[in-house]
Amino acid sequence: MNFTTPHYRQQNMIFPLLHPLYLHSSVTFTSVPACALITHLIFKYKEPFNPIIYTVTLLAVLPSILSGLLAQELHSIAAIPLTFIAFYSILALSIVGYRLSPFHPLSSYPGPIFCKISKLWLYVQAKDGKQHLYIQALHRRYHSDIVRIGPNEVSIIEPDALADVLGRNGVPKAPVTRARHLFPDTKPTLLNVEDLDEHAKQRIPWTRAFSATALKDHEPKVAKRCLQLAEYLSRTSGPINMTHLIRRWSYDLMSDVVYSGGSEILRDGDSQGALKYEDKSISFFMLFEQMPWMAWFARELPFVKAGISHMRKAAFQRAASRIAQEAKTKDLYYYLRNEDTGKDLRPLEDILPESVLATIAGTETVAVASIALFYLVIQRPDVYWHLQAEVDAFYPAGTDPTDSRNYKEMSYLDAVIHETLRLYPAVPSGSVRHLSSNMPGRLLGSHYVPPGTTIRYHCHSVLRDERNFSPHSDKFWPERWLIASGKMPAPESFQHNSVMFIPFSYGPANCVGKHLAFLEIRMVVCTIMQRLNLKYAEGWDPKEWERHLLESFAYESGELRLEVESR
């Protein structure tokens, strides 16, 4: 039958929608918005960590099938781009409309519209290394202890919520920790374990490795490296980049702690590119944190695969060498392999990711804290001379500044270190936790957080909150710690909430190596202050350091130009 004849059109004028061809076309056309809405629901309830099943199938294969069907129906190749445009437009409108609607579970919490729409907005703010400042500005702009920084993510700074989020019965780690795992084909490291019970089990050998007894075994390694750095600095002439040297020193030191040696980049230079590959790996952490599903794609990039392969190969060689030599000292491998117990020795492949984690985390944490401390004390001559006077009192010229027996008596040194860490904590944007969709909502402090929400307890904001530390919340003021300990009188409106001092996080998942970090910082400061005089390089603007201090999960320190002379 000719469907275009006047006779046919007249017969079917009353019931045009009942014709099979029309019905088939309607179903085909309505399948595009239906599939787009179903895709939204799948992405909403299933985080797309598997790019093959979710990302590729739903965003590429599905619209391709639909476009093929419509191209046959309309007998036009133009149906293919039109289908893709319609599919993505409907999907985008559905997502944006829902995220901005009053029906969204987080609709009552304040935050920028673009943050509510997409995590891409926070990544744009974060890619330049200033995420911690952006989130702090949001809390201050909205005068709120909780702000919405993503479609399903909030930042919290309420003091009463600390234990609820990070405490023993707190919220599990967020799935983004999986994306930060450099070697996804291996067992997750201590940093990447989401379940708190599993984390506690995996933490046991780490706790033994950094116990008070174990620290005594690490002291000679720290002392050797601190003396080496001081000697190296005493031989330099002209301006130096202290950041560059401290990072090399810290990397060598962590190699001693983890492998009982194997690195001499302060002495010989970084010919193998150890720090270069470390920097490349860390630089992706911020992208993975905002869009964890991107981790799979990023790891397939040739230069990323090459970097990870290099780090794995180097770690394997150093670990194999360490095990073959049966280290004379009790290093981290001694505990991670269970050599101290002699039971159930773990295979090398199990320990490999842990050793890389320890090297990276230990290097960057101590390096940035040490660099920040020298930057801050040189900026304040009164603090500099007070600190050096205390070092001289406990370690006069000719005595050993690496003898740790006096450190606990050095109250001003501790005040300077604590104040440095208050301003520049190890992980400024804090720990990221997640209430999965199959968990009940939780009351965190005074705020109810629904299932399916990612929670960030924002360390940088908490440590600069006037309710916790005032006056001079944003300034370097070591005296606050002396006042808090009763060694100085307190001014009016003095606030010092020691519970909120969380530069190494809080609770059962806090930094397991923080006591070693304190030992390293105390020892390097005492050694350098006893033997050297430091000042900013002539013509160098100290503000440059702050401007180039970037956050990429942990801090990346800017250049610190100094002139050094022996005392």
The model's pLDDT over 195-237, given as tens digits with 9 standing for 90+, comes to 888 888 989 999 999 999 999 999 999 999 999 999 999 998 8
Residue 89 is predicted with a pLDDT of 87
The helix (H) or strand (E) run that includes residue 149 is strand 146-150
Stretch 8-31: mean pLDDT: 47
More confident residue, 341 or 290: 341
pLDDT tens by residue, 366-398: 999 999 999 999 999 999 999 999 999 999 999
Q: Is 470 helix (H, G, I), strand (E, B) or coil?
A: strand
Residue 15 is predicted with a pLDDT of 38
| Rounded Cα distance, 229 and 367, in Å | 13
Residue 553 is predicted with a pLDDT of 67
Chain mean position to CA 291: 13
Average pLDDT, the chain: 85
Name every residue whose Cβ is closer than 8 Å to that of residue 188 and which is 6 or more positions away in sequence.
177, 178, 181, 194, 353
Residue for token pair 């984390």: 199
Residue 60 has pLDDT above 90, yes or no: no
Number of neighbours of residue 194 by Cβ within 10 angstroms: 17
Residue 287 is predicted with a pLDDT of 67
Scanning 127-161, the segments in alpha helix (DSSP H) are: 131-142
pLDDT confidence band for 96 (50 / 70 / 90): very high
Please say whether the beta carbons of 281 and 352 come within 8 A: no
What secondary structure, in 3-state letters, does 228-255 show? HHHHHHHCCCCCEEHHHHHHHHHHHHHH
Q: Please give the structure tokens belonging to residue 551.
A: 């956050």
pLDDT tens by residue, 250-287: 999 999 999 888 889 999 988 777 777 666 666 666 66
More confident residue, 369 or 557: 369
Q: Which value, to the nearest 10 degrees, does the dihedral of the CA atoms of residues 206, 211, 215, 217 take?
A: -80
pLDDT confidence band for 104 (50 / 70 / 90): very high
Residue 31 is predicted with a pLDDT of 80
Single-letter amino acid, residue 485: S
Single-letter amino acid, residue 216: K
Stretch 67-71: mean pLDDT: 74
Single-letter amino acid, residue 467: R
More confident residue, 197 or 311: 197
Number of neighbours of residue 326 by Cβ within 10 angstroms: 9
Which residues of the chain are in CATH 1.10.630.10 domains? 176-566
Residue 11 is predicted with a pLDDT of 43
Q: State the pairing for strand pair 432-435/240-241.
A: unpaired
Residue 294 is predicted with a pLDDT of 67
Residue 52 has pLDDT above 70, yes or no: no
- Please give the share of the chain, as a percent, with pLDDT higher than 70: 84
Please say whether the beta carbons of 463 and 501 come within 8 A: yes
Stretch 45-59: mean pLDDT: 65
> Is pTM beyond 0.85 here?
yes
Residue 140 is predicted with a pLDDT of 97
Residue 305 is predicted with a pLDDT of 66
Residue 245 has pLDDT above 90, yes or no: yes
Residue 253 is predicted with a pLDDT of 96
Stretch 454-473: mean pLDDT: 96
Indicate the length of the chain as a whole number: 567
- In this structure, of 59-68, 80-89, 311-320, 500-509, the range with the lowest mean pLDDT score is 311-320
The helix (H) or strand (E) run that includes residue 112 is none
pLDDT confidence band for 48 (50 / 70 / 90): low
Q: Please give the structure tokens belonging to residue 560.
A: 């610190």
- In this structure, of 344-353, 399-408, 450-459, 555-564, the range with the lowest mean pLDDT score is 344-353
Please say whether the beta carbons of 375 and 547 come within 8 A: no
What is 475-537 written as a DSSP string? S--THHHHHHTTSS---TT-EE-GGG--BTB-GGGS-TTHHHHHHHHHHHHHHHHHHEEEEEP
Q: At what angle do helices 62-74 and 79-100 cross, to 10 degrees?
A: 130
Stretch 526-541: mean pLDDT: 95
pLDDT tens by residue, 116-168: 999 888 888 887 888 999 999 999 999 999 999 999 999 999 999 999 999 99
Residue 281 is predicted with a pLDDT of 62
More confident residue, 20 or 255: 255
pLDDT confidence band for 194 (50 / 70 / 90): confident
- In this structure, of 195-199, 237-241, 246-250, 451-455, the range with the lowest mean pLDDT score is 195-199
- The CATH code for residues 176-566 is 1.10.630.10
